[in-house]
Structure 1
Amino acid sequence: MNEFDPARAIGRGLSRRSLLTGTLGGIAALALAGCADRSGAPAGGASGGGDGVRQLVVAVPALAPTLDGVVGGGGINLESFEMNANLQAGLVRNPYIPGLTPDTVVQDFNTYVGYLAESYEVSDDGLTYTFVLRDGLMSPLGNTITADDVLYSFERKWNVPTYSRSVWESGFAGPEAITRVDDRTVAFELLSAGFGLTFLGLLANLQGHVYDSTALQEHATPDDPYALEWARVNGGWGLGPYHVTSQVPDQEMILTANEHYALGEPAISQVTLRVVGDAGTRASLVVAGDVEMAQAIRPADQARLAGNDDVVVPEADPIEYVDLTLVTNKAPFDDPAVRRAMAHAVPYDQIAAEIYNGRAVPMIGNINPNTLNYTTDGLPRYGYDPARARELLAEAGFPDGVSFTVAVSTANPDLVDTCVLLRSYAADAGFTIDVAQMAAADFGTARTEATNQALIYRNRSQVQTPTYACTIFWRPDDDPSNPSRWDEPASREFWEVVDRAQALPDPLSPEAGELWHRAQTILLESTPEIFVCGIQPSQVFRSTVHGFAYRSENAIDYGNLEVQA
């Protein structure tokens, strides 16, 4: 069985406890699922072969601006995340366990199983992680993958300006901390044992992918030593379940199954991503059977389709949320009082009811509330209170109110609708809001470069640990992963507390839980971001599609799907 021992996968010092309480299934069950089914899907999920349909058509609002994903500066958006989930692979992954909706799965964030690696060991002091690659591992282009590819991949990450190295800094020094043991074995040295759980999460989700160094080096030039320009428009150098074989910008992209995929060739041989700009049209195409799946569907349409036996509207315990980011280095949100006033100008209940049709839950901070030894009790909470908002604006010197522009991607119609509702209710609280609707690529750039006064988007922690949740979004010094550019006395106090928590050997201990709570209190009082609500998956698909996975980045894992004839 090419799976990790789930108990060992959590890391030394953490195997006796889980990250989240109330999970679906125990660790022993996960081990059995890994043996029975490479995908972890429920019975009838992706397995390849059989009488299943070999092609899949998906209606999408937009295509990724680059095949190099976040590493190549493609922007932080769903389209780029989806390319990473399907074109790339890391040493480990979160296994899938049964989801709330029949024939669907969710990622389990409590443990990690083999992906490109077949096994690993952790040293007694918790500082050295040694990985053994699967034997015979190859890229879609037919190049053999060895330990040298792992070393090259991290060298490339660290030397590409758009890659966010800061997410590793609290516990991993970078390429110099990786040792090639032999052709199939690499060892990573950590700076602290307490970083182990987040380290595995980074390897598994978005940040730790391994590349085909042979392909990239063949297309490198003196001016482009890591072949960024070639990689933006050419596929096959990633090791995920698919590679791109055809694309027409802003119209269509074709993904072809990777016959050398580490988990076995996917059941779907070809996935066609077809751009359909209108969300209602995307939903109608699924109902008519013209496409099998559709992305970014309005919750109102999902509610309407929930009673259709031919269509599945998936549900999950949401980890994705609506994030209203207030850019703190621009007026008016350079004033914390104005930000707190804005937090009282958001009609939370109305957004949940009118925009998400009940498919939303309250969001208090951004640490998963089910994290062991952590509670949201006592954290600052905001409700819609226009009178209090006006009081705060007056105290800040704006008795006549303020105006600002919020940017939103047209690829997310629910967020466009949210902006319309927000603009209406916030007017009574003293805010005049202009809405700047942007194409997905332009919005991704605006978010990374913090060019607007405010932004609203779907957000989530790619790694569901408190360490990651508190360190990914608020790095100082214009870090691209810090869209609010929060860098003021409150943020420095926040980082002092976070650094104390990170220094502990166990990030899930009661002592750590108290520090995470204090950090979230500082964050919520300063309000560089407003956590509007947690939201359900935004996809719909035909009932013939099985193996849909709810993932931390909200991307569809096409390699785990099967379509019945």
Structure 2
Amino acid sequence: MDRRTLLKGSAAAGGLAAFGGTLGAFLPGPMGARNAFAASPPHTLVIASPATPQSLDSEFDVSLGTFEAIAACYDSLVEFAKIPAPADPDAQREDIADYPDKPGRVNMVGKLAESWEIAPDSSWIKFKLREGVKSNWGNELTAEDVVWTWHRKLGLEAIGAFFANTISFIRPDQIKAEGKYVVSLTLDNPNPLLLKIQPNLYSPIYDSVKCKEMATDDDPWAKKFLENNTAGFGPYQITQLVRGQQCVFEARDDYYRGKPYMHTVIMKEVPTSANRAQLLQGGAVDIAQYLQPLELIRLSKAPGVAVDTIPATFMLWIELNAKIKPFDNVDVRRAMNFAFPQEQVLKTVFQDLAQPLNGALPAFYPGFNEKYYEFHKQDLAQAKELLKKAGMADGFKTVLSYNAGDPVQEPTAILYQSALKEIGVDLQLRKVPAATFYNFVSQREQPMIFYYDSPWCPDPGYSMNLYFHSKSFVNYSNYTNAKVDELIDAAARTADNDARLEMMDEVQKIVMKEAPWVFVAFTNYSMARREDLKGWTYYTSNNIRFQDFYRDA
């Protein structure tokens, strides 16, 4: 699969002027000249990003910038082993293949956990933690930190509760400290995701000592503290956060894996894609995130710049809110898909650097099946027939909200608006500031809204649960189908991999027929960097981890 693309928007006001044309205002130490701009010191990494972190609490925010901060300041118990990225000698990626002969069917290495045991049917797991690991507050990692972290997921009933539900972790007593450095998690039923969910970016382990210190009777899970501070065992700590401007990370000297090569990381908010590309080409930054297709093409030919492209888990779609008429009608949702000018969007907006989103999970995940996708070609006649069948032959009026920080959404929306006029649908467009766009999505109050996301666990059951279970936090289309819920729940309770794949295939068949989304595009993750910057690894969570990078000697 040859997909090369693109974008995940999220930003606040600002631009090149906020950079002051130079990095001298915020780079420490002496700086040499690189073209017309100041270059980073060897152990400083400078990133032009659409947005700085909003909240620092992984329970409530998955916006761009926030998950980069989570990856820098926290660690999980285990991680997928890394392998060379196909056709890219400068990159690595996670090994997410299925390994029937390995525990939990995955190729894992330890992080905060140095070893583990897991039941053959994945009904329980026991971790032995590394001893002597310290948080950014100086507190030692113990089993109580792991226990408190999972109790917090249940207590807050937010994103972490979704992860808990995915593995049928529903009661606090299912996780126990067996000793100072040993913790066990026991399920009522087998669950094949028990180990596979642990490396998820949003399964970090918290310093419970610090969090309890900052908790109050009204805030027992330290939400207010963790919104603006970190309490983790990761390689970096935040030394400055000015939302809308920049976030500065400093490497920890006492990190248990050794101090990272990049001692200082400066994430500078540059909302405009063109300005981010200009700063990278001029040498003012080391990485420019989330650029437009034409900019990526141009930068790939620029001296001193490298562009890596990796098939990714990114999916772009439009949520059709099943609780808002007329999208409670399956025929209307199908009509909206037949009317979507997908081929035109891929060619003119994505410059042929994306592929059709022809399924409900990433194409390289186990169990993906594209044969249920019906919307290969725009078919306005079929769309009209479906609207007539739904009793809406004269069309209707609705609103599509899009992210002002994502440069592909507006032109895609305009092309869609024109196409829908042909079938009598009056589509009004609503531009939403990037800083508040995620709130618009999560409130589930818009009839139509773009969403750009990816399932961070390489498993079809996880993907289907994430987007289509009626009780999922991330089911932003308010889609409900009792049979889908039943199949997803059943798949989460069996260790029979073949049976799980069969059930998830049936879910895909139902979902694609009922079309809770307008299916737009699969896009690649593209890393635009200075060519002397090495070490990039692609993660299914589609974020960078500062600790991976180093400079070519």
Q: TM-score range by the shorter chain?
A: 0.7 to 0.9
Q: Give the whole-Å Cα distance in 1 for the aligned partners of 2:436 and 2:84.
A: 36
Within the candidate set 150, 157, 182, 1:185 is matched to 182
The residue type equivalent to 2:470 in the other structure is P
Q: Give the whole-Å Cα distance in 1 for the aligned partners of 2:538 and 2:113.
A: 23
Give the number of equivalent residue pairs. 503
Q: Does 1:205 find its partner at 2:200? A: yes
Within the candidate set 444, 448, 451, 1:450 is matched to 444
Q: Report the Cα offset of residue 226 of structure 1.
A: 1.7
Q: Give the whole-Å Cα distance in 2 for the aligned partners of 1:404 and 1:539.
A: 36
Q: Give the whole-Å Cα distance in 2 for the aligned partners of 1:431 and 1:290.
A: 46
Q: Report the Cα offset of residue 369 of structure 1.
A: 3.8
- 2:210 is matched with 215
Q: Give the whole-Å Cα distance in 1 for the aligned partners of 2:380 and 2:197.
A: 41
Displaced runs of 4+ in structure 1, greater than 6 A?
A: none
Q: Tell me the C-alpha RMSD between the 2 structures.
A: 2.1
Within the candidate set 496, 500, 508, 1:506 is matched to 496
Q: Give the whole-Å Cα distance in 2 for the aligned partners of 1:376 and 1:105.
A: 27
- 2:122 is matched with 126
Q: Conserved in 2, the CA contact under 8 Å of 1:411 and 1:440? A: yes
Q: Give the whole-Å Cα distance in 1 for the aligned partners of 2:120 and 2:147.
A: 24
Q: Give the whole-Å Cα distance in 2 for the aligned partners of 1:443 and 1:481.
A: 15
SS in 1 for 2:525: coil
Within the candidate set 91, 100, 108, 1:104 is matched to 91
SS in 2 for 1:421: helix
- 2:16 is matched with none
Q: Conserved in 1, the CA contact under 8 Å of 2:300 and 2:306? A: yes
Q: Conserved in 2, the CA contact under 8 Å of 1:379 and 1:520? A: no
The residue type equivalent to 2:408 in the other structure is D
- 1:312 is matched with 306
The residue type equivalent to 2:183 in the other structure is V
The residue type equivalent to 2:92 in the other structure is V
Q: Give the direction of change, closer, same or farther, for the CA distance of 1:258–1:331 in structure 2 (3 Å limit).
A: farther
Q: Conserved in 1, the CA contact under 8 Å of 2:340 and 2:378? A: yes
Q: Give the whole-Å Cα distance in 2 for the aligned partners of 1:499 and 1:233.
A: 36
Q: Give the whole-Å Cα distance in 2 for the aligned partners of 1:470 and 1:124.
A: 24
Deviation per residue, 1:427-477 (Å, 9 max, x gap): 334332222222334111111111211111221111010110111112325
- 2:69 is matched with 83
Q: Give the direction of change, closer, same or farther, for the CA distance of 1:412–1:199 in structure 2 (3 Å limit).
A: farther
Within the candidate set 475, 482, 487, 2:475 is matched to 482
- 1:493 is matched with 483
SS in 2 for 1:426: helix
- 2:27 is matched with none
Comparing 319-328 with 529-538, greater Cα deviation is found at 529-538
- 2:219 is matched with 224
SS in 2 for 1:483: coil
Please show how residues 373-388 of structure 1 align to structure 2 within 5 Å: 375-388=369-382
Q: Give the direction of change, closer, same or farther, for the CA distance of 1:423–1:95 in structure 2 (3 Å limit).
A: farther
The residue type equivalent to 1:327 in the other structure is N
Q: Give the direction of change, closer, same or farther, for the CA distance of 1:257–1:356 in structure 2 (3 Å limit).
A: same
- 1:525 is matched with 513
Q: Give the direction of change, closer, same or farther, for the CA distance of 1:534–1:125 in structure 2 (3 Å limit).
A: closer
Q: Does 1:68 find its partner at 2:57? A: yes
Q: Conserved in 1, the CA contact under 8 Å of 2:319 and 2:516? A: yes
Q: Give the direction of change, closer, same or farther, for the CA distance of 1:328–1:119 in structure 2 (3 Å limit).
A: same
Comparing 440-449 with 57-66, greater Cα deviation is found at 440-449
Q: Give the direction of change, closer, same or farther, for the CA distance of 1:417–1:497 in structure 2 (3 Å limit).
A: same
Q: Give the whole-Å Cα distance in 2 for the aligned partners of 1:310 and 1:431.
A: 48
Q: Does 1:549 find its partner at 2:537? A: yes
Q: Does 1:117 find its partner at 2:103? A: no
For normalisation by structure 1, the TM-score amounts to: 0.84
SS in 2 for 1:297: coil
Q: Report the Cα offset of residue 170 of structure 1.
A: 4.9
Q: Report the Cα offset of residue 382 of structure 1.
A: 4.3
Q: Give the direction of change, closer, same or farther, for the CA distance of 1:424–1:101 in structure 2 (3 Å limit).
A: farther
Q: Give the whole-Å Cα distance in 2 for the aligned partners of 1:148 and 1:79.
A: 29
Comparing 414-423 with 464-473, greater Cα deviation is found at 414-423
Q: Conserved in 1, the CA contact under 8 Å of 2:175 and 2:185? A: yes
Q: Report the Cα offset of residue 68 of structure 1.
A: 1.2
Q: Conserved in 2, the CA contact under 8 Å of 1:59 and 1:276? A: yes
SS in 2 for 1:451: coil
Deviation per residue, 1:302-361 (Å, 9 max, x gap): 122222242222211222111211111112212111110111121112222222222212
The residue type equivalent to 1:144 in the other structure is E
Q: Does 1:356 find its partner at 2:343? A: no
Within the candidate set 325, 330, 340, 1:331 is matched to 325
Please show how residues 459-470 of structure 1 align to structure 2 within 5 Å: 459-470=453-464
The residue type equivalent to 2:473 in the other structure is P
Q: Give the direction of change, closer, same or farther, for the CA distance of 1:249–1:77 in structure 2 (3 Å limit).
A: closer
Q: Report the Cα offset of residue 162 of structure 1.
A: 2.8
Q: Give the direction of change, closer, same or farther, for the CA distance of 1:344–1:380 in structure 2 (3 Å limit).
A: closer
- 1:137 is matched with 133
Name structure 2 gaps, 5 residues minimum: 1-39, 98-106
- 1:150 is matched with 146
SS in 1 for 2:237: strand
Q: Give the direction of change, closer, same or farther, for the CA distance of 1:416–1:538 in structure 2 (3 Å limit).
A: farther
The residue type equivalent to 1:199 in the other structure is L
Q: Give the whole-Å Cα distance in 2 for the aligned partners of 1:263 and 1:424.
A: 54
Q: Report the Cα offset of residue 538 of structure 1.
A: 4.3
Q: Does 1:346 find its partner at 2:340? A: yes
Q: Conserved in 1, the CA contact under 8 Å of 2:53 and 2:247? A: no
Q: Conserved in 2, the CA contact under 8 Å of 1:146 and 1:184? A: yes
Q: Give the whole-Å Cα distance in 2 for the aligned partners of 1:434 and 1:243.
A: 44
Name structure 1 gaps, 5 residues minimum: 1-50
Q: Report the Cα offset of residue 372 of structure 1.
A: 4.8
For normalisation by structure 2, the TM-score amounts to: 0.86
Q: Give the direction of change, closer, same or farther, for the CA distance of 1:485–1:279 in structure 2 (3 Å limit).
A: same
Q: Give the whole-Å Cα distance in 2 for the aligned partners of 1:170 and 1:274.
A: 35
Q: Give the whole-Å Cα distance in 1 for the aligned partners of 2:493 and 2:232.
A: 34
Q: Report the Cα offset of residue 375 of structure 1.
A: 3.8
Q: Conserved in 2, the CA contact under 8 Å of 1:77 and 1:440? A: no
Q: Give the direction of change, closer, same or farther, for the CA distance of 1:201–1:413 in structure 2 (3 Å limit).
A: farther
Q: Conserved in 1, the CA contact under 8 Å of 2:309 and 2:526? A: no
Q: Report the Cα offset of residue 373 of structure 1.
A: 6.0
Q: Report the Cα offset of residue 365 of structure 1.
A: 2.0
Q: Give the direction of change, closer, same or farther, for the CA distance of 1:379–1:61 in structure 2 (3 Å limit).
A: closer
Q: Conserved in 2, the CA contact under 8 Å of 1:303 and 1:357? A: no
Q: Report the Cα offset of residue 85 of structure 1.
A: 1.9
Q: Give the whole-Å Cα distance in 1 for the aligned partners of 2:418 and 2:247.
A: 38
